[in-house]
Structure 1
């Protein structure tokens, strides 16, 4: 019997060998001694006896036995050799009583290379075993700037803390996210009971995930996928699920998992302008019909009276209602400013059978996604620049186009070129706004410098800074709030008497967006739009061409400036000009865009640098006030060390 098992295993080895040769790949086991040199490591650590995943056992430590196996650890030598006889004997022993003696391995970069026990690994892999006991010695690599190296050192910290050696991510930050879901800090002690609970939950997810995945090619790891799952269901829920419940739950979030894979492998771009759904001949014959009336909820984290952002959305809601009339019944839910309140609010909206829910802040996305997965009958949208969600559509406005225009106004009017700019959260979109303003100012005034101040930074006082430095032209919050009589909004100037003179105001026309989206649902085109997309994720990032943003100019502007802005506005709407074109250089002298074209939209989305004429830096998490950290954790840009917030120099 063991002879037959060897011959079957040999066929598997020969098949892998031939496939590797055909692809011009190395056909034998990888050899650790040939992969690394002594200078690649800084030491070794004896980790003792551990249970290791056979999937992570990928090669042998030395070249002594490598040619006896194909790269899948299946044997390729003839059965009538000493090697073949020993393999068959070991196979028979495994069938009768199992293999219990630990092998000996080196661990390097979370992969295992066998020092002793190659045949044991081969037999166990042949029979489909999941794990093997092993005496493990870790070879510690030198630290480098490579992504793989940085992830590995995150793994080392997690392994030291938890004793778990089978979790691995393809992106940085995965272990911190997993700690957050589990509910532990980096310095917490992970007990044996907690380790057993995690092992059981992880195994249940892994089996369901691999069964669903089948032969589908995904480059994310099992644990990347598990983070997507935990983001919806939570760790405690996973621990308490039955096998069938885990399987059903994986099915429900599968599109989110696939989108995570797509986001890793390629840039998922938002829709830049409204387009009419493409319709087949059948669609034209059978006109889709939607509901006659929609029950719509708008969820705000603050109230329109005390938040410019909320006020702009409330104006849009009222404008939409005026245009759609009785076909829409909308309600607002204000001051939903904690995850607990949002969970309660969304649960209420589900119970009350709302058709559409607009969540108007990026911090609301996780809870919105959970609700959308569990209640696919409800259409849920979130106002953010998140792109990888199939259950929640996201939307945002290209405000940088308007900031570019207000920058031109400031540059043309400010004689000394010293201009202030007030920003709030360092999130996607904000950096593009700052840079577009700076580029616009320099276009008409080569001496223009933009002094950047943040309102969500500890001990921030932008107005005091501007006053102390004699900066009188300032770009501030986008619009006035109903309960605040201050004229410090939009672009303004302090005159000789210290009075505020408003010059221009960026304007969000959310009503145009809400009307178009709800009308598409009423006309039965919501699903049609999904059919016309190559990705299941739909994100809207509309600008001036769609009428979503605009600039309102004051009568205080000189006629020539008004004419210039009118011409530039039309050019932007027509797509003839964009703020981010031609040679663009950041503060540290790096050229971010060449002379010969416009910057790609994916590069604008990911913008993590400041233009060379901006004086100021991007704040890190430690710089922020507590209320800002949740928003920045979800939508914040990655702040390079060279751009960390430092004190802004005084005006010279």
Structure 2
């Protein structure tokens, strides 16, 4: 290239540098290139490890080694020096060499927290960034920071180093701990075409990550705060692992995923906590009710992970289905599908139901959230409901009960009845509704008996009463005299090993249990849809936000059933008084002061935990003996390992 052309190119790069510098300064930040000595203290480094010659992503080269070198470049690595300087001449010479034959000499960099800082070759990197190069060879020295379990980025980085050992992938990053391990499981499953790639990691990047990233960013993913890695992991959880990602086959899926992630990232849950009532004004008929005629019944499917005959949880929903059959008779047609796999295979069942023109599909277990979300995005004309208390989705409506309310009362009963002051609690799985229920139960215990302790043990299974009974034996050996076990007995269960009961006697004395009245919810939903008063579910609110139903004792969806025989009149009066206060919204079990197991004040005096605080509860209250399981150690065959953190995007 001639000198005039090169100077024109350099002026473009210099203009970009000035724009970047001004943008950063206007935000109150430094406009120059970040330097490693400005973001890291040498005392933070545990060791230096040479990784040798590695191909690194250009966009992860974010700075230079020292501040003295950084002032020649703007924050975007473009040159700030004037066109008549020696610096500019060298930059133009490198650009000309790149155009003629390509820059070949590797750069030298330090890698710190999966970001790269240039030791030698700043101008080469500047030119490569200007021309839009994606990767380049570099001699890499890794700076390993000291371990800090309390620092989230540090924790993620240590997980990244384990991931890198297995895959040699350095282009992916996550915003939450645990996700590198999850992605590694997908990569382990990936089929390696050895004829074309010399490693499985390279093939995964070439055929999955890069095409996904291209489509994701082109369709607007860049405006989201989460990383491309976060988005890809969500995609794989919902849609499964393809042989390769292509625009033809996956563009529409990625567009739908972005729409869901945008809603979730707003972190502004629209939660319905009161009884459902039809709006006073009759509105335009919904697209769903538009399809219904006098001759056309509303087709409703209930999807169960187990059979009602063997599962108390499925049985409670089956009672709800039978209830609406009785209420609406000829207006609806319902069916149940039992023993549906709690993994991605569930999608095939939901797909078939959608193809059979079912209008509403209730998936009745939190373990179905991933396949239900996938089906809801794929079949927008079908209304999908999933029984779970997690995040809000655009396509999928969630419903659950504030089961911690009756659990608090069960705790009061257990605290009053214990003689040893050691109460056992059988917890199924460390998801939010279970953690909050254990905490509420313990608060109820301590409200009437501050000397009592709650010894918690985990079954690591959802809706598994037999395993709960096995854990109960270990609790009895540990000296408990009262146990809180699975709430929902199967039909005909005479064991009394559910709810709150006494142990150590010849006959188990059953005190109380929490109950679910799902028919109340199902009736309200169907009544609103049949009446044509809901244009969409959001019509019962004044917002376009997705809607969750999180209903408590004030709606009748959850309640407490207690023994008249084994509970005295004084305790009955207390129970009914607390029930009335909760129902009238005069009392919330999670009212401060509340301390955790480490005596840290979690809820200040007079403060009340809101929806977000309760569904994100990841700590145990004072009085609980036992630990929360580490989600990373849960078995991948367990249903919740499949769906955990499905679209959690907290930065």
Task: Report the TM-score range of the alignment, normalised by the length of the smaller protein.
Answer: 0.7 to 0.9
Q: TM-score scaled to structure 2, two decimals? A: 0.87
- Cα 1:374–1:87, aligned 2, differ >3 Å: closer, same or farther? same
**Contact 2:635–2:641 (8 Å) recurs in 1:** no
**Contact 2:52–2:141 (8 Å) recurs in 1:** yes
1:348 corresponds in structure 2 to 352
Q: In the TM superposition, what is the alpha-carbon distance from 1:326 to its structure 2 partner?
A: 1.9
CA distance in 2, matches of 1:503, 1:381: 33
1:530 corresponds in structure 2 to 538
1:511 aligns with 2:512: no
Q: Deviations over 1:165-211 (max 9, x none)?
A: 111111111211212223349xxx99725234212221111111111
- Cα 1:387–1:21, aligned 2, differ >3 Å: closer, same or farther? closer
Q: In the TM superposition, what is the alpha-carbon distance from 1:508 to its structure 2 partner?
A: 0.3
CA distance in 2, matches of 1:114, 1:451: 54
1:631 aligns with 2:640: yes
Write the mapping of 1:231-630 to structure 2, written as runs, cut at 5 A.
Answer: 231-237=237-243, 239=244, 241-262=245-266, 266=267, 268=269, 270-274=271-275, 286=284, 290=289, 291-292=292-293, 293-339=297-343, 342-414=346-418, 417-456=421-460, 461-465=470-474, 471-493=480-502, 498-524=506-532, 528-530=536-538, 532=541, 536-556=545-565, 557-620=567-630, 629-630=638-639
CA distance in 1, matches of 2:519, 2:56: 57
2:132 corresponds in structure 1 to 128
2:464 corresponds in structure 1 to none
**Contact 1:206–1:222 (8 Å) recurs in 2:** yes
1:642 corresponds in structure 2 to none
2:236 aligns with one of 213, 221, 230:
230
Q: Which deviates more from structure 2 when the two are superposed, residues 521-530 or residues 593-602?
A: 521-530
**Contact 2:483–2:500 (8 Å) recurs in 1:** yes
- Cα 1:535–1:137, aligned 2, differ >3 Å: closer, same or farther? farther
Q: Deviations over 1:342-382 (max 9, x none)?
A: 24422331332211111111222222222222222222222
CA distance in 2, matches of 1:463, 1:371: 38
Q: Structure 1: any 5+ residue segments left out of the alignment?
A: 638-652
CA distance in 2, matches of 1:311, 1:507: 12
Q: In the TM superposition, what is the alpha-carbon distance from 1:255 to its structure 2 partner?
A: 1.7
Q: How many residues align?
A: 623
2:649 corresponds in structure 1 to none
| Aligned CA-pair RMSD | 3.1
2:182 corresponds in structure 1 to 177
Q: Secondary structure at the match of 1:546?
A: coil
1:148 aligns with one of 145, 153, 157:
153
Q: In the TM superposition, what is the alpha-carbon distance from 1:339 to its structure 2 partner?
A: 3.0
Q: Secondary structure at the match of 1:297?
A: strand
Q: In the TM superposition, what is the alpha-carbon distance from 1:10 to its structure 2 partner?
A: 1.2
Q: Secondary structure at the match of 1:321?
A: helix
Q: Secondary structure at the match of 2:536?
A: helix
- Cα 1:483–1:566, aligned 2, differ >3 Å: closer, same or farther? closer
Q: Secondary structure at the match of 2:205?
A: helix
Q: TM-score scaled to structure 1, two decimals? A: 0.87
CA distance in 1, matches of 2:224, 2:517: 40
**Contact 2:365–2:388 (8 Å) recurs in 1:** yes
Write the mapping of 1:182-221 to structure 2, written as runs, cut at 5 A.
Answer: 182-184=187-189, 192-200=198-206, 201-213=208-220, 217-221=223-227
Q: In the TM superposition, what is the alpha-carbon distance from 1:250 to its structure 2 partner?
A: 1.3
CA distance in 2, matches of 1:452, 1:116: 57
CA distance in 2, matches of 1:123, 1:522: 64
Q: Which deviates more from structure 2 when the two are superposed, residues 447-456 or residues 244-253?
A: 447-456
- Cα 1:192–1:479, aligned 2, differ >3 Å: closer, same or farther? same
Q: Secondary structure at the match of 1:86?
A: helix
CA distance in 2, matches of 1:623, 1:484: 33
2:173 corresponds in structure 1 to 168
- Cα 1:622–1:48, aligned 2, differ >3 Å: closer, same or farther? closer
Q: Secondary structure at the match of 1:49?
A: strand
- Cα 1:456–1:132, aligned 2, differ >3 Å: closer, same or farther? closer
CA distance in 2, matches of 1:553, 1:569: 12
CA distance in 1, matches of 2:39, 2:635: 47
